[in-house]
Amino acid sequence: MELKNAMLELIRRASTDLSPDVEAALVQAYDREDDGTPAKNVFGTIIENVKLARDASTPVCQDTGSVIMYIDFPVGHSEKVYREAAEAAAMEATKLQYLRPNAVDPITGKNSGNNVGVNAPYLHFHQWDKDEVRVRLMLKGGGSENVGAQYKLPDTTLKAGRDLKGVKKVVIDAVNKAQGQGCAPGIIGVGIGGDRVTSYALSKEQFFRKLGEPSSNPDLAALEKELYEDLNKLGIGPMGFGGKTTCLGVNIAAQHRHPATFYVAISYTCWVYRRKQMIIKGSEVTYD
């Protein structure tokens, strides 16, 4: 019961309380836009909405997203315990309206009504040698998920080769195609290498990084900076109204690939960049 309640509180915080780095990026975007423009007005409304949601402990967006958890736990712990707690927390969070019912059976079209179903919540387990548990939660919106993309390099239509220059071209192409869909400004997660599945998984895992946190790889850190600058020159702006801020951040990671393949996956999340984590050590629980 205690684990379930801790996870419930994690969900509540993610749904209703936008993280400080995201709010700061939105304020910076507001300050960057020209007075009297649609972009300035949109960012003003977004910032007001963020504050109201936090004060009232209500969802910051009507689409509360899919529940995705990455759980790191000590060797010997049972995955079943965490799965049962996560499912119970999702059910309770739906009753309390921190979550909207977002788990639909693709065969019958029936909504489970409680955010629990096959692979819902989606849980990724990893054992580690630490004596503490880390639960990272992402509430991933459906609209922004629809504008994600995957490319297979080389891409002759974009003249994108199997190198970082080619990666840059396909990321710009993906964001340009998204336009205002997916509730721009977006945060872009990029996974280079792997296969079709793991490249997407790697790209989405980048959403657990804080905005402005550069890659530990200097080449990828430089590419993140270049893409952040170039994407904000597209002029798409918040919700596609035009403006100086199309992107709030770019996080990139790479993994080894098969010699015959070169996949680049681009995951897109909207300005409602909902992710929180908690650390459980003994009886103490901390949230970030």
Instruction: Please give the Cα distance from 205 to 183 (Å, whole number).
Output: 20
Same domain, 161 and 246: yes
Among 253, 190, 221, 212, residue whose Cα is nearest residue 22? 212
- pLDDT given for residue 269 in this prediction: 96
**Distance between CA atoms of residues 166 and 267, nearest Å:** 17
Same domain, 135 and 223: no
- Domain match, 278 and 260 both: no
Residue 6 structure tokens: 């801790």
* Alpha carbons 202 and 208: distance in angstroms, whole number: 11
* 259 and 172 housed in the same domain: yes
d(CA 262, CA 257): 7
Tokens 């009232």 sit at which residue?
A: 56
Burial of 34 (0-12, 13-18, 19+ CB in 10 A): exposed
**Same structural domain for residues 156 and 107?**
no
Residues of the domain holding 181: 143-269
Instruction: Tell me whether residue 53 is in a domain.
Output: no
Q: Report in angstroms the alpha-carbon separations of 77 from 37, 125, 130.
A: 54, 11, 12
Number of domains in the chain: 2
Cβ atoms of residues 202 and 253 within 8 Å? yes
Residues whose CB is less than 8 angstroms from the CB of residue 83 and which lie 6 or more positions away in sequence, other chains included: 123
CA distance 96 to 47: 24
Closest CA to 266 of 198, 204, 195: 204
Q: Residue 37 domain-assigned?
A: no
Question: pTM, whole model, 2 decimals?
Answer: 0.95
Is residue 252 domain-shared with residue 185, that is, in the same domain? yes
How confident is the prediction along the chain (288 residues), in pLDDT tens digits per residue? 599 999 999 999 999 999 999 999 999 999 999 999 999 999 999 999 999 999 999 999 999 999 999 999 999 999 999 999 999 999 999 999 999 999 999 999 999 999 999 999 999 999 999 999 999 999 999 999 999 999 999 999 999 999 999 999 999 999 999 998 999 999 999 999 999 999 999 999 999 999 999 999 999 999 999 999 999 999 999 999 999 999 999 999 999 999 999 999 999 999 999 999 999 999 899 999
Q: Which residues pair with 188 in a beta bridge?
A: 250, 268
pLDDT for 1: 58
